[in-house]
Amino acid sequence: MACLILAAVSWGCSFPVGKAAMLVVDAYFLTAIRYGVAAAVLLAALLYVEGAGALRCDGRPLLVAVLGVVGIGGGVLMMFVGLHHTQAEHAAVIVATQPLVAAVLAWLVRKQRPGTSTLFAIGLAFTGVALVVTRGDPSSLAGSGTAGGDLLVLGAALCWVTYTLCAAAFPSWSALRFTALTASAGALFVFAATAAATRVGAAAVPTSAQLLSVVWQILFVTFGAAQLGTLCWNIGIRRVGAGGVLFINFVPITAFIIGVVRGYRFNWAEVLGAALVILALLASRIGTANQQGDTG
């Protein structure tokens, strides 16, 4: 449980920390640095642990590349670009709905209809997200400038869930091998996207002084949130079981606490919306546990 709390808190911190870093280094270069370093570290670890043979894609290089683009290009790059255009707390709440987004995706793709309690939780969660995003006033979206960023974060959550579910297509691969190879393909896509964005003026090459001014933020989102957080999450889920997914609630809670400390004033709709998302995750997990108990 300590590992799960540490992972969720690190992810919750990564939103305001990443948002602060993007005041100096744009989302494209921040993502390129983050996953360029991560991919290199993961490949080195894979080579050391499993040997050169693990670097092969076993006849499925296209699928590995597509999942890398979806997971890293869509799930991470889109997330940071969206974060640049919205509140860190809003992004954290949207990301916390990923377990319920997974249930919807499984329903659409695998025809696995969620139980009644899960359907109720899905509706409750998206009601909460709507309250947070609109701050209780839907008409405010027209002038807030955050609607596009919120949609990008939601799209990123969908991409990441797709990437996670598709990991089942590689049952014989270790988690390290799957992560290293897909992250490497995704990093190449991010490099290409960053180069294209720079060429059209949507991204700017950071100077060494700019990078040094946010070096601690870059180190945190690269090693603290991306690598240590993911490792702790996987350890915790393996030991606690599927019920550990409830610890994802600490992501928006952490982001909201940091927002309060930094002086951001949340209105009633944002607080209520975040509470509804947390309640939805709890209701979904309790309903699933009850169904499993009845089956047993």
Per domain, the residue ranges of the chain are: 2-290
Nearest CA to 230 among 191, 178, 189? Answer: 178
Statement: the pTM of the whole predicted model exceeds 0.85: no
**Residue 267: other Cβ atoms inside 10 A:** 13
Nearest CA to 130 among 97, 171, 83? Answer: 97
Contact 21, 217 (CB under 8 A): yes
CA–CA gap between residue 240 and residue 1 (Å, rounded):
7
Nearest CA to 290 among 134, 115, 156, 32? Answer: 115
Mean pLDDT of the chain: 84
Indicate the DSSP class of residue 247.
G
| Res 292: pLDDT | 55
pLDDT digits (tens, 9 = 90+) for 123-164: 888 888 888 878 777 766 665 567 788 888 889 888 888 887
Tokens of 4: 């799960």
pLDDT digits (tens, 9 = 90+) for 174-194: 888 888 899 899 999 999 999
Contact 79, 199 (CB under 8 A): no
Task: Choose between 67 and 101: higher pLDDT.
Answer: 67
Residue 61 Cα to chain centre, angstroms: 24
